[in-house]
Structure 1
Amino acid sequence: MRKPSAGRVARLAASVTAAGLVTVGMAAGPAAAASDQLWIVSPWELALPKAVDGQQARETTVALGLYHDNANYRVTDGKLTVDVSGLAGVADVTWPENCAPTGPTAVCSFPEVPLTGEAPVEVKVRAAAGAEGGATGQITYEATATTSYGTMVAPGSTTTIRVASGPDLVLNQSAPVTGVAPGSTVPVPFSVVNNGNEPANGVDVSFYVTRGLELGAVAPQCTSTPLGEGAIKALTKVDCAFDEVVEPGGSFTMPSALQATVAPYALSERIDIGVNARGGVEDLAPENNGWVAQITATNTADFAVRGGRYTAAAGETVRADVTFRNRGPAWVANLGSGDPVGSVEVTIPQGATATTVPDACEPRTADGGWWESEVRTGAPRYVCQLPIWVAEKQTVTFGFDLRVDTVVTGAKGAITLKPPYGTSFPFDPNAANHQAKLVLNPAV
């Protein structure tokens, strides 16, 4: 399966994301009836480096797997049938131990089919001797598995194999780093190997660094550009151009070891790293040219909401502000998913009508259902989306114009802060200030 490509950070960076080359087969028959599905995990296409100067071509891994998606069922005895007869004259195959070959086909076994799309079966393929660039072939797949209600069947799928020539830069994949103290410095592992059959005549490297990390002066060959709107920039992009030639089988590292300084306001940080051969040369497998180094600091952020008390006579309109504040000390950002950091739910006080509503606020019915009217004003409840990131000490205000139709003494509207997922904010130790009131005509 493809890994995240370089620069896949939020909607703030104009980065290029490699298309995911994964195909899945949906189950039919009994599986659909039982609300479960069997899936085949396989790449859509792979490029094999062509053999050069009579040498044996480098191997490439075809990662395969099965999974299903209903935790209420146990799925066992998965059988993935792999047919490589379509690779004759194009590629040679080496089977792993968990596949039993018979001629050009093999059955790969999964005693327990998991719920996640892992790819534990690694079939090795290499360009056949004499196969020319541009030659193509196909691998086909079928799969079955057993569950309590019978046999699950996944429809067939294919992988196209293409013989090509060029560099194949592969970036290392580092494990996430957690529990880092703000103010500390952590290493950022970085190394690249060329698994292709041609040299990379220079290497371009890019880093998208979230605000809570500082890489410093990376190298003389690098330039830094802050990204984002406003005075506070959520990202810094670092572009580097190196002239070093990376031969097939060779490696490349930065001139000096990378280290990131963790800011006092850091929380869930990331560095999206991407590498490419210079000169626009096509990489044989661009899916492994990028990786995300994740660094999580031990920190908290105190989210709070505030309402207000307003007085108006019948027929008058009053401006009512609903305010969100991140009291810090950490900033909070969902740059990877692009989801809002949370939402603020506002219930309009009794006897009033919302005549002006912020663009970020969607109308709802009194019980929280969808508002069917095309007019956004006049709803009894609103859900206001916060930005995808908020800095420490940042305030977001949602201003409503409320017309008092009937004076109701002490009419109270509820204000509730909600996370994008689940029921709580894991970084916020103080949930007491996640609720407030919007009061019209309070009792004297």
Structure 2
Amino acid sequence: MQLGPKFAELKATIASSYPNFEANVTNAWAEILAESDKTTKTIKEQGTEYVPQVSFTDLPNLSEDEIEKIRRRGTVVIKDVVDDKQAAAWKDELKQFIQTNPSVQGVPADDPQFFELYWTKPQVEARSHPNLLAATVWLSNLYHFQDKESASKFEGVNVNVPLTYADRFRIRRGGFPWAFHPPHVDGGTIERWEDPTFRGCFREIFSGNWRAHDPYELEARLNARSSLYGRPNQSSIFRTFQGWLAMSEIAPTQGTLKVFPDVFLSNVYTILRPFFTPLVPVDSSEIFDPKNWKFDLSTSEFHGISPRDGGFLGPRPTPESHPNMRLEDTMVSVPKVKPGDAVFWHCDVVHAVESEHTGTGDSAVMYIPAVPLTPQNLQYVQSQKESFLKGQRPSDFPKGPDESGFVGVAGGADITSKEGLIAMGLESYSKN
């Protein structure tokens, strides 16, 4: 989809910012296509088993090989983060909350199963659970500064201090089709190219040195603007990993998460895709041959990005827009989870929700990401705290009725740990 003349100019600006851009990215593109051809075949062969699974208690003892597998694939299932009976009880409490407050809004509007609720007691209790906060700290520690000199430039950054980003929950019934979450990337749309700081996260890709790209480098992430247009449902904070906590047993085909399990490969391909045009049909077997692509700055298209609500939606890769990802085969379902297990995926990971739920039980999750202490994140949390105290929706989300009038809304007393109070901005973090 063409986005308007200024976006063709944006491509030209990027190209002019890097020496020998056309030659370097053309060589990189050929290498990326070869890597995509090989890796996507492996993902197809292994399917769900390609997604790492670890136990919460084993996190401190994982080998370097296990950690590197999580880093590259960008997705991990962490088992037994919360007691399974507690997680299942939270689901029952949420169901009761909805019954008690029948005016609760959600999607679909005529039969809500994804709920516009942020401050119920189970959500607030889960977000402040020490194990869940500890898991998010472990994940945020996969990120790093390029060197100590870079770290010294940033005050108020501590990946060992977790913050809370209030989001919603889903209780999806078996047999209900779902078309609301096709393959997509959150945490910034056109901003990945348009915001100079955000663009810095991908500088090695633009320079042609794509193998040096590190999705876990912190420096450019900290001040990247992921919401230039203020579109609702566009996160304005830096989540190292997005995540959810299971409140029911969920297996593949039962409405679970699907991911493209290689954050490095999807980044290098997605970021350079707008600069190339295919010369053969995208469903052709020749699409992996670099001679069937040409470097092209003539269009304003950024593939998978489209206008919406005064801003932009995406990236939403499809087989037509991103053929080399083989999405029909490589969007794999995460392994079976039980109540109390958590699934986390890197902020750049392409993910989706299964369109079908073939099970008979609920597919129930609370969305709880990993959010480290940074000045930008803390500023949002301070605003979010006021929303909590007033029972209002947080500012990143669609405006709607307050929760203050509902029966059973949480208060500060429902935050179950000191870490949770700090995470919500209700207590100040102290280094001592």
Report TM bin, short chain: under 0.3
| TM-score normalised by structure 1 residue count | 0.21
| TM-score normalised by structure 2 residue count | 0.22
Structure with greater proportional helix content: 2
The higher-RCO structure (CA 8 Å, 6+ apart) is 2
Structure with greater proportional strand content: 1
